[in-house]
Amino acid sequence: MTRIDTTFAALKSERRKAFVAYIMAGDPDLETSLSIMQGLPGAGVDVIELGVPFTDPMADGPTIQLAGQRALDGGQTLDKTLDMVRRFRAGNDTTPIVLMGYYNPIYSMGVAHFLEKATDAGIDGLIVVDLPPEEDSELCLPAQAAGLNFIRLATPTTDDRRLPKVLQNTSGFVYYVSITGITGAAAAQAAQVGPEVARIKAQTDLPVIVGFGISTPQTAQDIASVADGCVVGSAIVKEIASGKPVADVLDYVRALADGAHQG
């Protein structure tokens, strides 16, 4: 079992929903993002989703695009991101870390080399949004053979014919995208999300975590109430972009986590 599997098993036994927080590695700079990352577990975060900056982030809206650009301008790379995880692991060996990004940097590093470095650094799972199930042999299957979870996204346009293919080699949890479009584009609605989560759960025993369109403690609570938990990304990245002190960013994350845990 990975740290992700262990965490969700513990949450299930406690009848508690999960809160997943996304930050961009290297935004606004490496040391600040590491400080925020190190504070996330204490702020109630159950799983950390760590973005790898990339020049063409097709699934991301302006907020995360700008975060990625700031990180790239500061010299952030995939290697530096993995080193950041290694530094985090020196003080925390329990909180799951999911690396979220695009295939190009991994391909450029070489899949075997990347997987060796990722597992050594302490990565638990991958979300690679531009690799469909038809390309599972490219990274998904080697990643799972290396002991990493490979987490898929399901969306409102993933119909019942497509869903089994999406779920086929998914592990860890299913990430349900609550809206059609890019990150930060609209607000999630529990009334619309609930039936979709139920539809997915009818075909898998994996936890279903909902992301996109969550920016307040109340929305986090509402969405978590109809799923196994929720993810917040753009709203946290906005707080970081505003230049607020790390402690203030973590206070905001704590309020979101409290909302999700009441779901």
Known catalytic residues? 49, 60
What is the total residue count of the chain? 263
Q: At what angle do helices 78-89 and 111-121 cross, to 10 degrees?
A: 20
Contacts of 141 (CB under 8 A, 6+ apart): 169
Given 3-state DSSP classes, what are the helix, strand and coil percentages for the chain, each rounded to the nearest 5? 50, 15, 40
Count of CB atoms within 10 A of residue 194's CB? 16
Judged by DSSP in three states, 256 sits in helix
Instruction: Please calculate the CA angle 159-161-165 and round it to the nearest 5 degrees.
Output: 100
CA distance 89 to 132: 30
Judged by DSSP in three states, 33 sits in helix
Let me know if 112 is exposed, middle or buried by CB neighbors in 10 A (0-12, 13-18, 19+): exposed
Count of CB atoms within 10 A of residue 1's CB? 10
